[in-house]
Structure 1
Amino acid sequence: MQIVNSYEVVKGDIRRKLEDIKGVLASTDIDEKIKDTKIVMETLPEEILSKIFSQKINKLDENDWILMKRELESEFNISMNSGVLIKGEEQQSRDNKWWTQREKLKDDYYWSRYKKYMKKDIPPNVIRTIDADTDNIMDNLEDPNIEKFSRYGMVVGHVQSGKTGNYSALICKAADAGYKFIVVIAGGINNLRNQTQERLNKSFIGVDMGIDIGVGKLANNDKSKEPISLTTKSEDFNKRDADRITQAMGLDNTSSPIVLVIKKNTSTLKNVVEWLSKRYNNQKITKHSMLLIDDESDYASINTNKTDEDPTKINARIRDLLGLFEKSVYVAYTATPYANIFIDHKIDGERGKDLFPKDFIYALDAPSNYFGAKKIFLDTDFKHIVTIPEPKSLLPIKHKKDLILNELPDTLEEAIRLFLINIGIRNLRNQGNKHNSMLIHASRFTMVHQQIGSCVEDYLSKLRKDIVVYSSLDNPEMQSINIQSIKETFELRCYDIEFE
């Protein structure tokens, strides 16, 4: 098997050729493109190939070509249906074609470069659906050029099925339309906020710590249009940095969109509200339109107090922020919309309307290769489920928070070994640049989970040490009980794959 770089470069070249084919691909198109490229690579010397591919390329073996055909077929056969839209009564009488019939035709700078960036990892049919879905959502926002508006909507998607990619596309199109102030409220912990900032740096902002990344590295990048981010991958919003970034230009003197990715935290939201209020002398912001994306909107955004009491802090702060703008749109994103749709739609107090999605709800479909709970538990023969006996002596299902745990159950150690084997398999399948993660959830008590985490670190350390020390030997399983255990797990769980 050749190194990942050469394989990925060649596959990327063939993918681009397939994307250039107009209309639906014929059943023979993938075979023909692979065959043509294979002939070129087998007949031309390496120095000529390096010029064709603009970098040094190694020859591929037959297993690479077989794998490439399978991956491209899988990629180009993935489809995704457009979502389903529900509109409120007032929304039905509004102009719901302002974007697709007018504004979209004028300038699509941010969207076009994000669409080009997505082509590296996302199948063409899925990109087309993201385009159609976000067009539908944009039509149900509002034209930012009108004098005054307030819109509330919700987008519902499956767990881990591309909601962030959808609102990244929506942000790009909103910026193209003229939305000036874009706020993303992303999770209640720093880790989640940082991840979302990193995603938007690549998909929309194009720069991280002064270095061009993601869309910022594309050929059509225009520095004069670079969005102004008041937050970074490592720093949430604070008034001091926001003043420093904006003091030279003034919010009203720049044509670039301003973006904030903030934690769903009372003090952070309060700081944003106070900073904007000070900048505009406690007056309504009339010149600029704001788009507020509330990610995981079922968490903490809902007012759980009684109607005759003050709203909960985060709910109040979000409504305060929306109330600063004469022109604002609130879009909630969630996979679990139950709490959102039960918000009292009649509430409209001194802080403005509550966050009920009165104007539209858009339900996203999942791509055809989506692997979620339905596929595991319902549409299945339970081949993805491994039933394990209850480890009563170490970690019984019913346990108290003061449980002492000094070692892991055998089944959890096996699961960890299988996870490591899976990473090895993915590397052999040229998927070494793909994300891998394992979730361990064996207790409802924090203290017990901390002990589990410590034991997992210890076990991983032992595996890592033995692999480093013994793996170059002809019979490493004879030298290490840990490697012997890995081999046994492989033979038990991975007997039907293509590798020894």
Structure 2
Amino acid sequence: MSRRGPKHFAKLAFALADSEEPADTDVAGFHERILAAAPGDDLLAVWRRKLTAWDFEQSPSWSATTARTPERRAEVYDNLALDTDLRKAFDTAVPVHTEPGPVTISREFQPWYTREQAANRAFYWTSYERLLRRKGWGDAAVSGLDEAARAVVERLAEPTRDDPYGARGLVVGYVQSGKTANFTGVTAKAIDAGYRLVIVLGGTLNLLRGQTQRRLDMELIGRENILGAADPNDPDALVGIDYQDDEDWPAKFVSFGARPSDLGAFDIERLTSRDRDYMSLERGISALEFEKPDRTRPLYDPANLHAARARIMVVKKNKSVLEKLVKDLKKMGPILSEIPALIIDDESDQASVNTTDPKKWEDGKVTRTAINGQISALLKLLPRAQYVGYTATPFANVFIDPGDEEDLFPRDFLISLPRPAAYMGVQDFHDLDTIDGGEGEAEKKHVRDICDFTGTPLMEAESTGDRLQEAMDAFVLTGALKLYREKHSVPSGPFRHHTMLVHESVRMAEHAVLAERIRTMWRNAAYTGPAGHTRLASLFDKDFHTYADSSLPTPETYADLKPFISGSCQLINRGGSPVIVVNGESERDYAQPDLDFDRTPNVWKILVGGTKLSRGFTVEGLTITYYRRTTQQADTLMQMGRWFGFRPGYRDLVRLYIGREEQLGKGRNAKTVDLYEAFEAICRDEELFRAELARYAPLVDGRPQVTPAQIPPLVAQHLPWVKPSARNKMFNAELVEVRSPGKPIEPAAYPQDAVLTSRNTERWKSVLAALSGTSATCVLRPDETSPLPRSFQAATTVVPHAQLLSVLSSLEWEDGNVLTPHLTYLSQLDGRLAKVDDWLVIAPQRTQRNRIEATVLGQGPFSLSRRSRQSGKQSFGRISGLEHRLFAQQLIELPDSASTGSSFPALGATRGVVLLYPVVEAAQDDEVKAVATTGAAATDRVIMAFTVIPPKAAIDTKKLLVRFQTKDSARPDAVIVNAD
């Protein structure tokens, strides 16, 4: 069943048994064993693993159902011929994992990496999988990684193919979300399949490169490959071997039981070590020479390939290091064209992308930046090299010129990894569906303003008005809470590291001043005295006790926690200082033992730093962050989100102190920005980008709707802050039509010009007249988010399709018509593509307590809505209110039945929904009241914002959801050529 899918279980059990006749007692025994199994039962664990694997399997030969669905599970049960009781027992013990998997945008490719082939050659993947399970990974997590790694490997070129091909791909994860685990899995599967040279570009610092090397050594390469021929029991033989001073060696390093070559597999030779980057090879090129049992055949021939050792190196993205590697490879001669190679580029948007100005290029010649030039040289030397970039901020990569054949544009595939189940990300710090500036649950739990606007001094010795002292108190308090939880045997304990990050500036001089300030505050904090305990008790009661996770051990009173405070302080102040400054101009500045999370048993410190703490480097045990550094680069800002990540056993203790009124720039160009709002804005943009990828990823008639080359316009439309630096030829595709049956169309970037705003408002006059004086109660059906019905009041009317299309087509926009691709689709709903007769327009009212009303163009009065634009952008964070959007979606989803308790009739198949909001751009309600003072709102202050949801029937299912035009790259000034 492992390779060919689920079969009739009772018959298979009998066929494999020793008995001559099927015995009912055998099947009955299995039946009773499963029904009575405890969660840790070994037999149940085997079945949990197998059922999960079948649930996740993509397009298996034995099934036509979709992976990760109840339908797939039902088919598995049918094939196994399980009875109702067993199905219920398995459903309880092994629920179907319905969370989405990786999203893949890909060119068509020739399938070669079959399940059978993967199973036949899986030595290193199997070892890696076993290690992950020992680390506590669940079946769904392992199957998810297997699925995502397979999606990458199957899109690489087959290593044994005759004609060389180098695929280019990009894998997009989340900040601090475990991308290393994915590329470790990809590497394991790739070398099992036949790739024999792996080059991992591991950051721009030895600190980061060493982290990656250790991770691969520990989880993939393993003890026996690290030791080579050395006797692990002979101390003299181990001199100079890595990891002798590592507390995880050898227990936590994967072991195969013997040299892989002695077990019928192949060995891995490391060309770099934990402490040593790639050097010019002391043994000449012999370390890179590949043995060939049959010298008459090329290396990539199966007879040679699967007998050859693999070589792996983790190389810093440094010009001189890469030059040495390129120089050594050049010495190898023709064999280079025979080597199936894999290049993994971690943080691929950093240093790897060519950032030279195209205007300065000589005719016909591309000028490259240093690292980009060396990577391009590597790819030219290795025609069978596959390049896979990894990043959490992909926009620099997708804006690479696709026409530059020697560059790194992901022409073959882009894979967006799912958000891991236990990951703390944007949804844990930002309430993305709040629209009126209200504080949501995520913000209440985890986010604190840096400034104390009451002016109340936070302690007598430090009355600057900021909350750095409170943040430090929170650090001590959460350390004590971790110690308390360790004593009470929290499953995720013990907590090896406990850290706080303070990030205010990139300037090293300012880091020194800030570190000294923290040391002074620490000395004056009196944590074990009456004043300190009073402060900590107050903070515990008003914050950490209030938001504690009820499933984790938490003391009821500060008195119960007090005995653990001194232990927390001692660990933080060990060595005489609570602070480590993390900055520098050379590698030596980062060689700090206290900062080595791998070799130091317990790092309990406050880290003060800048750029070097903002990308790639994992701050282990990060619990408290104090952040106020500004930047105008969206990807830079996103990479600074070190507070994202996995926080087992203490996610309820995580706090982010972030600047809400920080100065960006100097002099006349200076402005005040809200860093929390800025983070939320770019997170929204990334979520929109991921949602667009997911929407267009499904194949139509077996072919991709979108290829990687068509991704840039998707970014450009939804992310106005992404500037391509005048590289117009990057946009080789232009989005011309988006079809949105049943999905909201909600432009957010409305004009800021008062004249345009006024003219756009005038164009809604006929609709406003129809809405005037109407009122209806909109009732939402109870669902899993709310067991009770909810309702809101609204003005409503129905307008013909032609009237709405006329209004939308007449609107003006400042930076091009953002509606154009949608209007192309909507205009065809007159019967050409599908038929829409009319639209239900709903103008929601705010609650009676918060309602501010005014007439607009003499119509109404209407309830004015308040919205704020995203930091530095034209766009608002969200237009439609959550309950309004849910109500509209209910009408769309069930067009043949009326909403329960509502005055609305059923929509039917040919009526869409429009949510319409008279919006005043304002941060506070007082500003809205000022607009409505006379009872009539000025048209230049009211933005008519809207969400349009076409009926689900408004689509020909045989049509693609998107359509593009392609620019002729040889004629950049020519008219656009239709790609169809």
The answer, yes or no, to whether TM exceeds 0.5 is: yes
Partner of 2:392: 335
Equivalent in 387, 403, 422 of residue 346 of structure 1: 403
Matches within 5 A, 1:25-104: 81-88=100-107, 92=108, 94-95=109-110, 97-101=111-115, 103-104=117-118
Whole-angstrom distance in 2 between the partners of 1:392 and 1:450: 29
Partner of 2:170: 154
Give deviations 1:147-175, integer Å, cap 9, x for gaps.
Answer: 21111000111111121100000000001
Partner of 2:503: 441
Partner of 2:260: 222
Q: For the Cα contact (< 8 Å) 1:78–1:126, is it kept in 2? A: no
Shift of 1:327: 0.6
Change (3 A) 1:121 1:347: same
Whole-angstrom distance in 2 between the partners of 1:413 and 1:183: 42
Q: For the Cα contact (< 8 Å) 2:172–2:392, is it kept in 1? A: yes
Aligned length: 404
Q: For the Cα contact (< 8 Å) 2:469–2:521, is it kept in 1? A: no
Q: For the Cα contact (< 8 Å) 2:196–2:309, is it kept in 1? A: yes
Matches within 5 A, 1:250-269: 250-252=289-291, 255-269=308-322
SS in 2 for 1:239: coil
Matches within 5 A, 1:453-472: 453-456=515-518
Question: Is residue 423 of structure 1 aligned with residue 482 of structure 2?
Answer: yes
Q: For the Cα contact (< 8 Å) 1:340–1:356, is it kept in 2? A: yes
Equivalent in 466, 469, 483 of residue 410 of structure 1: 469
SS in 2 for 1:438: strand
Shift of 1:450: 3.0
Change (3 A) 1:427 1:16: farther
Question: Computing the radius of gyration over CA atoms, which structure comes out larger, 1 or 2?
Answer: 2
Q: For the Cα contact (< 8 Å) 1:110–1:173, is it kept in 2? A: yes
Change (3 A) 1:144 1:414: same
Please, what is the CA RMSD of the aligned residues?
3.4
Question: Is residue 311 of structure 1 aligned with residue 368 of structure 2?
Answer: yes
Matches within 5 A, 1:259-298: 259-278=312-331, 280-281=332-333, 283=334, 285-298=336-349
Change (3 A) 1:102 1:419: same
Whole-angstrom distance in 2 between the partners of 1:124 and 1:434: 25
Q: For the Cα contact (< 8 Å) 2:281–2:328, is it kept in 1? A: no
Q: For the Cα contact (< 8 Å) 1:227–1:259, is it kept in 2? A: yes
Partner of 1:372: 425
Question: Is residue 385 of structure 1 aligned with residue 447 of structure 2?
Answer: yes
Whole-angstrom distance in 2 between the partners of 1:345 and 1:426: 53
Shift of 1:441: 1.4
Partner of 2:571: none
Give deviations 1:160-214, integer Å, cap 9, x for gaps.
Answer: 1121100000000001001000011111111111111111111211135366564
Q: Which amino acid aligns with 1:490?
A: F
Shift of 1:419: 4.1
Q: For the Cα contact (< 8 Å) 1:85–1:361, is it kept in 2? A: yes
Whole-angstrom distance in 1 between the partners of 2:44 and 2:539: 40
Question: Is residue 163 of structure 1 aligned with residue 179 of structure 2?
Answer: yes
Q: For the Cα contact (< 8 Å) 1:161–1:367, is it kept in 2? A: yes
Partner of 1:237: 278
Q: Which amino acid aligns with 2:46?
A: D
TM-score scaled by length of structure 2: 0.38
Question: Is residue 105 of structure 1 aligned with residue 122 of structure 2?
Answer: no
Change (3 A) 1:317 1:76: farther
Partner of 1:361: 414
Q: For the Cα contact (< 8 Å) 2:171–2:415, is it kept in 1? A: yes
Whole-angstrom distance in 2 between the partners of 1:114 and 1:342: 34
Shift of 1:433: 4.8
Partner of 2:381: 324
Shift of 1:432: 1.1
Whole-angstrom distance in 2 between the partners of 1:454 and 1:338: 38
Q: For the Cα contact (< 8 Å) 2:288–2:311, is it kept in 1? A: no
Please list every run of 5 or more consecutive structure 1 residues that lacks an aligned counterpart in the other structure: 1-12, 26-72, 394-404, 468-475
Shift of 1:316: 0.4
Shift of 1:265: 1.1
Q: For the Cα contact (< 8 Å) 1:206–1:213, is it kept in 2? A: no
Partner of 2:882: none
Whole-angstrom distance in 2 between the partners of 1:290 and 1:275: 15
Give deviations 1:301-347, integer Å, cap 9, x for gaps.
Answer: 11011342511010000011111112110001011110100101111
Whole-angstrom distance in 1 between the partners of 2:344 and 2:267: 20
Matches within 5 A, 1:394-409: 409=468
Equivalent in 128, 131, 142 of residue 117 of structure 1: 131
Higher helix proportion: 1
Whole-angstrom distance in 2 between the partners of 1:16 and 1:190: 43
Change (3 A) 1:84 1:455: same
Q: For the Cα contact (< 8 Å) 2:173–2:418, is it kept in 1? A: yes
- Percent identity for Structure 1 against Structure 2: 26
TM-score scaled by length of structure 1: 0.72
Whole-angstrom distance in 1 between the partners of 2:447 and 2:161: 54
Question: Is residue 176 of structure 1 aligned with residue 176 of structure 2?
Answer: no
SS in 1 for 2:503: coil
Shift of 1:220: 7.3
Shift of 1:462: 8.6
Matches within 5 A, 1:180-191: 180-191=196-207
Partner of 1:401: none
Q: For the Cα contact (< 8 Å) 1:79–1:368, is it kept in 2? A: no
Shift of 1:451: 2.7
Shift of 1:414: 2.2
Please list every run of 5 or more consecutive structure 2 residues that lacks an aligned counterpart in the other structure: 1-38, 53-91, 227-240, 243-248, 293-306, 433-439, 456-463, 549-553, 561-980
SS in 2 for 1:158: coil
Question: Is residue 451 of structure 1 aligned with residue 513 of structure 2?
Answer: yes
